[in-house]
Structure 1
Amino acid sequence: MTDTDHSSPAPTSESATPASALATAQAGKGRTRSGGSATAVILLVLLALVLGGALFYQNRQYRALRADLQQQHQQSVQLVQETRTQAGQALSLVQAQAARLQELSGALDATTGQVQELDQALRMMTDSGSDLLLLNDIDHLVTIAQQQLALGGNVANAIISLEAAQAQLARANRPGLAALQQSINGDLDRLRAVATIDLPALTARIDRLSDLVGTAPLLIPDAAGQPAGPAVPAPAAGSPASTASPAPAEPAPEGWRAVAADAWQWTRDAAGLVSQDLRGLFDVRRVDDAAALLMSPDQALRFREVLKQRAVTAQLALMMRQSRIWQAELEQLSRAIDQRYDMRAESSREALKIARELRDTAIEVKLPTVDNSLAAIAAARDAAAAEDEQDGNAPDDSGQDDSGQDDSGQDDATPAPSPAVAPAGAGAV
C-alpha cells in the first residue's frame, strides 16, 4: 500500500510538465496570430486612407474641369445666341433692303422708259425748239442722277444720266446754256474721280476667308499630336541618298569588323528614330488664351461655324454699306483667328492676313452731289422764262397799237357801225 501510494504521484508530475508546455506554445501561437491580424488591419486601414485621398483628389480635379467646361459651354451658347441675334437683325435689314431695291428697280424701269421717250422726243426736236423744253429734259436726267446717288449710291448710273444730259446739250448747241454745260461737266469729273468699292473682289476675299476658317488648323484639337517642326522624310528607294555607298577606294570590312560596323549602324539608326519620336511627343508653344487648350472636337466644330456666320454677316454688311457692323465682325474674326488658330500653318497666317486687310478696308465712300447742275438748271430756266416773257410782251403791245389804228380806220371808213353801237350802249345804260 505504501509503495503504491508513493509511486502514483510520479506519473502525475511528468504528465503535467508537457501539458503546461503545450499550453504555453498555444498561447504564443495565439499571440502571434493576433499580432499578425492587427498588422494586416493597420495596413488595410492605411491602404484605404491612401485610396480615399487619391479618389478625393481625383474627384476635386474632375469637378474643377467640369466647372471649366460648363463655363466654356455657357460662353459658347451665349456667343451663338448673340450671333443668331445679329444674323436676325442683318436678315431683317436685308429683307428691307430687298424690298427697297425692288421699288427702286420698278422706278428705274419706269425711268428707263421715260428716258427712251425723251431720247425719241429729242431726236424729233429741231434746233428751233423751246429752251424750256430742253431744260426740262436736262432737269429730268440730272434728277435721276441725284436719286441714284442718294438712294443706292450707284455712281455708274449717275454718270450715265449726266452723260446723257451732256450729250443732249451738245446736240442742241445752245450758246445760252454754256454755263449749264460747264456745271454738268464739273459734276461728271467729280463723279468719275470717286474711288468706288470693288464689291466682287471683296466678296471673293470674304469667301476665301470663310473657307480658310473652316479648314485651317486650330491649336486644340486639330493641331494636337503634330510635331513642332517638319518631319525629316526618309530617303526613298533608288534616291542618291539611299544608294550612297562608301568610296570604292575603302575596302569593305570583314569578319568581326563587319559585325561591329553593322551593330554601330543599327545603333545609330535606332537612336535617330527614338530621338525623332521623343521630339514628336513634346510640343512647346506659347498660347495667349488658355481656354483654347480645353476645347473639345464638338466645341471646335461649333467655333468654326460661328466664325463662318460672322463672315456671312460681314458680307451682308458690305452689301448694305454698314461700316460699323463690317469692322466689328472682322475685328472679332481677326482676334479669334489670332488666339485660337495655329499660326505655324500657312492657311492660318493667310486667314489672319485677309481678315486684317478686310477690317482696314473702308466701305463707306463720301459721294459728291449734283447740286451745281441743279442750281445751273434753275438759273437757266429763270433766264429762259424771263426772255420768253419779254418776247411775248413785245408782240402783244404792237398788236394792240395796230388794232387801235385799224379800229380808228374802220371808224373813219365805215360810219355805219356807230349807230349800232349807240343803241347797244343805250340799252346797256
Structure 2
Amino acid sequence: MNDLPTKPDPADPAAQPDGADKPALLTASPAAGSAAGPAFSAAAGAGTPLQRPLTIAVIVLGILLAAQTWSSHNQMRNLREEMARRLQKGDTVNTETGALARSVQETAKELQIKVGLLESRQTEAQSQQLALEQLYQDLSKNRDEWALAEIEQVLSTASQQLQLAGNVPGALIALQNADRSLSRSDKPQFITIRRAIAKDTEKLKALPSVDSVGLALRLDNVMAQVDTLPMLADEKPTLPAAPERKVRAPAAKPAVAAKGGKAARDASVPAEEGSPWLHQAQDVWNSWSSEMWTDVRQLIRVRTVDTPDALMLSPSQAYFLRENLKLRLLNARMALLSRNETAFRSDLIAAQEALNKYFDTRAKTTQTVQALLRQVQGSNLAIEMPTLADSLNAVRNYKAKP
C-alpha cells in the first residue's frame, strides 16, 4: 500500500513540522517572514514533500542572518562604546603624562642647579685638597732639612754681625748652637759640617779679645762728665788740690827700766822729745800758716797758659765747645762699634787736644777724664775678622746634594 502524504492536523502538535512549532521565530524578523511568506504559502498550497525542507532551510537561514545582523550590530555598538572609553581613558592618560612630563622637567632643572652647585663645591674641595696636600708636603719634609735651613740662617746672621760689628761672642754662640743641633741627629753625614764649624770656632777663639762694650761704657762715662769739667775761661778756676796733712803717730809710753839704769835713760830721751803739748803747738802753727798761705795765693794768681785764645771764650762759645767735645766722643763710640780704627783714633786725638787746650788740666776731674781716654785709646781695634764661609759652604753643599 502506498503511504500518501496527508495534510497535518493543525491541532496535533506532533503533526506540526519542525519549522511550524516556533511561531515566535517566524515573527522575529518581519523581513524574513515577508520573504518566506509566499514560499510558505506556496508550499502549503502545493503540499509537496520536496518544498518543505527548502522552506525550513530558508527560514533557518533567515533566522541565522537576523541573528548575525543583530550580533554584528551589538558588537559594533560595544566596539564603539569600548573605543569611546579607550579614547577617554587615553585623553586622561595624556593629561596625566603631560603633567608628569612638566614635573619631570622642573625636577630636571632643579637637579641641574644642584649638580652645578655640587660641581662648584667639588672644585672648591679639590682646590682645598690640593692646598692641604701641599701643606702636608711642606710639613712632612725631612727634619734634617729644616734643621739645616735653620743652621744656615743662624750662621749667615752671625757672619754678618761678625763682619759689621765684630761680634765675636755672638758668632761663637751661634757656632756652638749649630754644632749642638747637629750632634742631636747623630748622623755620619753631618761630620763634614761639624768639622767646618769646629774649624771656624777655633779661628774665633784664637782672636785677641776686644772689650767693645767696656770701651763704649768708658766713653759714655767721659761724655757724662764733660759738663762738669772746669775750663780755662771760667771766672773762678779750680785751684789745685791742697797737699795732705801728715798725721803724727801718738807718743809712745816710756819703756819700763829693766836690767840696769842705762836702758832707762835711753828710753826717757824719746819720751821727752815727743811731748804732747809740743806736737799740738806744731799742728796749730801748720794749720794757721797753710790757711794764711792759701789766702795770700787767692790774692795774686799767676797762671801760665799756652793758648791765650782759650781765655777769651764767651759762655755761649764754651757751651758749644762742650757740645762739640761730646760729638767727638760720640763719633768715637760709633767708630768703635763699627770697628773703624782710623775714625776712632782721630776722634780720640781731637778730644784729647780739646781737653788740653780749653780745659783746666790741673783739676782732678779733668785728669780722670784724660786717663780714661788714654785707656780707651790704648785699645787695639785693627783686628781682621775671619768669616764663617767654611761652615756656610759645608751646609749649602750638603743641601745641594740630590
TM-score range, shorter chain: 0.3 to 0.5
**Higher alpha-carbon Rg:** 2
**TM-score, reference length from structure 1:** 0.43
Task: Pick the structure with more helix per residue.
Answer: 1
**TM-score, reference length from structure 2:** 0.46
